[in-house]
Amino acid sequence: MRLRFCTCLALALLSAPGWAQTPPASPPPEAPPAANPAAPAPGQTAPAAPSSQMPSSASPANPGAAVPVPGPAPAAPQTRTTLAPGPNDPTNVEEVVLASQPAAVMTGTSTWEDAFTNLKAVFRKIEDALAKAGIPPKGRPVTVFVHTDDAGFRYEAMVPVASVPEGRTELTPEIKFGKTPEGKSLRFVHKDAYDEIDGTYETITAYLDAKDIVAKDAFIEEYVSDFTDGQDTNFEVNIYVQPKE
């Protein structure tokens, strides 16, 4: 579980043709001229021939109709980026460098059993406050687990934004403006139910032990999928572990 992961980290501190020419046929004998059936009888005047002159231009069918003007194209939905670019491959560990981004941050505590429910509610509260302030989110929600024990954990829940309004240090009294983590990291991908994420942390712990990597105590979760159901087997999370330098 994640608690064991953090404990192992603490212990570790100690221990890419031509045509065929044929003669022309003889012309047929000249036939006598045929009588003109349209010739007028004596004393009659021939009818005038119809005029072959075409009108200079065609009149519009409805000269008073207004030409429709197309309206503005609908705005494209805003893309929410992850902390580090590049494809996520659940079978590989990726070495990435996180760039710090401004974010709306809310701190709190939770038990392990209520982790999914509590984090879902916290991110909803942050995003509702951002919407009310007219500040669009830029990145995916992030949780930094700053302390863990048997009872639960203390966290910093973050929603990255493009920029912080000038002169503002907080969004609401309980939601402050801060920054996301930065620096060299190892990215692991969990794609399964959130309730099964402890198995991924066991894999991470084994990887760090095998590579003799000493990591920082805090670890980072970035939620690529929306919070819907803790049992959703397509739920995708980026887990960032930062080695100590």
Tens of pLDDT along 174-217?
999 999 999 999 999 999 999 999 999 999 999 999 999 999 98
CB 208 within 8 A of CB 215: yes
pLDDT number for residue 195: 93
Residues near 139 by beta carbon (within 8 Å), at least 6 away in sequence: 80, 81, 82, 83, 101, 103, 159, 160, 180
Domain spans of the chain, in order of start = 101-241
Average pLDDT for the chain? 79
Q: Can you tell me the distance from the alpha carbon of 53 to that of 210, in angstroms, rounded to the nearest whole number? A: 95
Work out the angle between the directed axes of helices 2-14 and 197-211 (0-180°, nearest 10): 10
- Ranking 29-33, 66-70, 158-162, 171-175 by mean pLDDT, the lowest is 29-33
- Ranking 66-70, 73-77, 100-104, 234-238 by mean pLDDT, the lowest is 73-77
Q: Which two tokens stand for residue 210?
A: 């095998």
Domain 101-241 has what CATH class?
alpha beta
Q: Which two tokens stand for residue 131?
A: 């919407």
pTM (two decimals): 0.70
Higher model confidence: residue 19 or residue 217?
217
Higher model confidence: residue 175 or residue 88?
175
Least Cα distance to 187 among 105, 56, 109, 83 occurs for 83
